[in-house]
Every structure is written in C-alpha cells, then in structure tokens.
C-alpha cells in the first residue's frame, strides 16, 4: 500500500486531511493520521475507518433474542442454587420436616388448625386456633400469598434438592446463554409461579407442596421451544422431558400439578421471547408479554382465592 505524502516535501500527511503533516500511523492499516483522526486502541491508535470496520466485525453483545450476552452463563443458576441451599439448611437446622419455617414457606391452598397428636380442625380460623394454644398452619387463601413463590425455593429431603439443583445447573446456563440473564430469570420465576398456580387450583386444599420442580420443568419447556425455533435436534431434551413426566405420574407423592404448570408456563414464556419480532420493538413486545402472562396467573390466583374463601 502506498502512503499519502505531501506533493512538495514528500513528508507523510493525514490520509483524510492532505494538508496536515502526520507521523502517526493507524496500527491496523498503516495509513498516516492526524490528531483529529486518531482513535485510541489497545495498542497505539486506529483510523476512523478501521474503528468502524472493527465495530462491524466485533461479536455482538446481545444474544440471539435480544438479551445481554452474559460473561458467565452459569452465574444466575448458581445464585438460585445458593438461595435454595440456604433455605434448605435453615429448615434443617430448625427441625427439618417439623420446622415451623417449613410451615410458613410451603404451599398450602387453605390453612387449618393443628391440634397436635395428629388431630386437626378445618373449621377454626387463625384467631380461634391460636387462642386455644394450637398451631395455625397458614394457607394462600387465608393470606399466606408468599407461599406461591417461597415454596419454589423450599426443600426438605436431600435427594429432592440434589436432583432439582443438578437439573438447574445443567439446564439453566444453556438457556441463559441463548436468551440473556434477565430473560432467563423471568422465565424461571414465571415458571415457578405457573406451577404454584396449577397446584393452587388442582392440588389438595389442605395439602402442602414444596420444591423447585415447577421452575425446572419450565426450563425444560423453554429449552424445547428454543430448540424448535432454532431448528436444532430436540431429541435430547424430549427424552429428558419424557423421563421426568413418566416419573411424575408413576411415583407417589410427586406434584403433577406443579410439574405440568411449570412446563406450560416456561414454554409460553420462551415462545414469547423467541418469536417476538426482531427490531427496535422486540424488547417492548417481550416485556409487555411477560407482564401479560404474569397478570393472567395473578387473575387465576385471585379467582381461586375467591372460590376457596
């Protein structure tokens, strides 16, 4: 490449400003550049054209579906695992299956009065129950609305939390890498709420449900939708989903309501995120859609509460 020089002196001049003598060269293309054309680089200076070309060829900081590309796709999953383990340890240290903390965090559609020795009173309200020295077991319909979310971070058995956290560690980073951290967290939490909502509607009125399984099934549903959208081979995730649903219906004590609700919620959120139109309005469409799904779940919860009370 020939370098621009002054017509009379032969000294190098800025390739963009021929009247300006310059002895500084672009570190990429080697052309002389004047102070007005210098752009700071990791080493030396670049010319404006090389900077623009670098921006075009540099990997985007956005994921395929609009989220910020995480530097470590496992961060959010590890944080959620940390919360679950902390709650599990707190329950373990306060009595395990007999912990009062567990009574407050687990999902129970309706509250009842525990008289002790295996006796319960379903007709007494909280004030009457506690005034007679009995233990009130709170339920969502009686005002313990927080259980719809806290139950998704609550475990008692070691195998239960171990399996759920392993599944989260395997599935979570894959989704976060594709949709970004904020969207992944929204998918996880809405899936948990969707699982709790179906438990609230279709589970035993006085039964208790705990576990992150609803959110985990939501991740399975989300990964299936993403795989189908990207036209990838969904065989692996379909096998995983099939095995887990088979266990759900064949093993006693497992909440099929939480699993099915979480799966449907995760699939719906993922479909909204990956099929939102590309362009400047994509984020707006995604946010409005996430709010709409959440509101639908809250309406369903309100209707169920009205029916139970």
Active site residue 259: yes
List 13's β-bridge partners, or say none.
21
In angstroms, rounded to a whole number, what is the distance separating the alpha carbons of residues 112 and 110? 7
Catalytic residue among 151, 213, 250, 255: 213
Active site residue 213: yes
Radius of gyration, alpha carbons of the chain = 29
In angstroms, rounded to a whole number, what is the distance separating the alpha carbons of residues 2 and 307? 83
Residue with structure tokens 């525990």? 114
- 168: closest CA among 188, 191, 195, 193? 188
Q: Which helix H or strand E contains 91, and what residues bound it?
A: helix 75-93
- Order of strands, edge to edge, in the sheet holding 135-137? 119-121, 112-116, 135-137
CB contact set of 295 (below 8 Å; sequence gap of 6+)? none
Q: Which helix H or strand E contains 136, and what residues bound it?
A: strand 135-137
Give catalytic residue positions: 213, 259
């Amino acid at each position: 490449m020939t370098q621009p020089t002054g017509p009379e002196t032969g000294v190098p001049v800025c390739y963009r400003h021929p009247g300006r003598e310059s002895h500084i060269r672009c570190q990429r293309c080697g052309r002389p550049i004047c102070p007005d054309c210098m752009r700071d680089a990791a080493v030396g200076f670049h010319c404006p054209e090389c900077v623009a070309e670098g921006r075009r060829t540099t990997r985007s900081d956005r994921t395929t579906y609009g989220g910020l590309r995480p530097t470590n796709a496992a961060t959010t999953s590890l944080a959620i695992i940390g919360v679950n383990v902390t709650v599990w340890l707190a329950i373990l240290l306060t009595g395990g299956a007999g912990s009062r903390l567990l009574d407050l965090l687990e999902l129970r559609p309706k509250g009842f009065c525990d008289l002790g020795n295996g006796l319960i009173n379903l007709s007494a309200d909280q004030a009457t129950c506690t005034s007679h020295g009995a233990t009130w077991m709170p339920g969502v319909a009686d005002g313990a609305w927080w259980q719809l979310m806290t139950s998704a971070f609550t475990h008692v058995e070691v195998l239960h939390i171990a399996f759920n956290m392993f599944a989260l560690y395997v599935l979570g980073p894959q989704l976060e890498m594709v949709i970004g951290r904020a969207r992944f967290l929204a998918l996880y939490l809405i899936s948990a709420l969707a699982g709790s909502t179906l438990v609230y509607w279709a589970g035993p009125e006085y039964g208790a449900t705990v576990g992150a399984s609803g959110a985990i099934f939501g991740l399975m549903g989300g990964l299936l939708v993403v795989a189908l959208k990207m036209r990838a081979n969904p065989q692996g995730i379909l096998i995983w989903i099939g095995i887990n649903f088979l266990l759900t219906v064949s093993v006693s004590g497992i909440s099929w309501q939480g699993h099915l609700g979480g799966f449907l919620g995760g699939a719906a959120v993922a479909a909204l995120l990956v099929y939102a139109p590309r362009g400047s309005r994509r984020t707006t469409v995604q946010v409005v859609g996430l709010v709409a799904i959440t509101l639908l779940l809250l309406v369903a919860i309100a209707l169920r509460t009205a029916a139970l009370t």
